[in-house]
Amino acid sequence: MTLIAIILATLAAGIGSVWLAALLMRLGLGGRSDSVGPQHLLSLAAGALLATAFMHLLPEAFESQAGAHDLFATLLVGVVFFFLLDKAELWHHGHEHSHGAQAAVPAHPHGGAEHSHDHDHAHHDHHHGPRAGGWAVLTGDSVHCFGDGILIASAFLADIRLGVIAAVSVLAHEVPHHMGDLVVLRQTSPNRRMALVKVSLAGAVTALGGVVGYFLVGQLQDLLPYFLAVASSSFVYVALADLIPQLQKRLTARETVAQIAWLIAGMVIVTLVSGAAHGH
């Protein structure tokens, strides 16, 4: 039963996030002038990830017999580990995949725009040049999705409710990421349907990671609290090292309030999902 739940949840998070990203792009959401743009989605995802890590995964880990010192050490090592993966471009979550996707990190018309543009320009050129426009992007996606699957499986093995929360959080932060992927692949290939198929296949690797995680973590039940700490470190790293820095721009008071509102909305969604899953 748990394995079936893991497979369904990882498919929903992996492939569902791709289709949701494609739907939002088709509806025209994600542009700079839209009421719901990438900045809002990034804020929502950051809130969901932080709430999941600090309000659910870590508390679950600390309820075990594992020592607090060991769990905090695991959390620290995990953050450094994901930093190294990011340096190797295997865990990179850049939602600013190309100049065509700059809506994901819009340059603000007020002060600081020139610095932002220069930084983004260099970042795009470094991470997503012509060679990274196709299979390199899909390879990085696949590795990341496989890791997501293992993290979701770890959460499910600790608590079904926790697994649902983790899957929702993964889905939330993958949507803006996949929007960037689709833009990149559509630039390298005129066939939009094929671009969607390729990114969906990469997303499907999440289910493979979930199955591997089920058998791997299942054999190491005593280490489950540490797997939860590693999952937390992944969520915290992505939120603080990737998502939130993209939100650190000079904004008007209204735009800042909108960012904060969407950040809180992400936390609220996680809380509501937790309550619904717990009640069920």
| pLDDT tens profile 232-249 | 999 999 999 888 888 887
Question: Per residue in 210-232, is it b (16+ CB within 10 Å) or e — as a string?
Answer: bbebbebbeeeeebbbbbbbbbb
What percent of the chain is predicted at pLDDT more than 70?
Answer: 78
Give me the sign of the Cα torsion angle 272, 41, 50, 127: positive
Please give the single-letter amino acid code of residue 158.
A
The reply to whether the predicted model has a pTM over 0.85 is: no
Q: For 128-167, how does the pLDDT look when each residue is reduced to its tens digit (9 = 90+)?
A: 444 444 667 778 788 889 999 999 999 999 999 999 999 9
Q: Could you report the per-residue pLDDT of 161-213, keeping only the tens digit for each?
A: 999 999 999 999 888 888 888 887 877 777 778 888 888 999 999 999 999 99
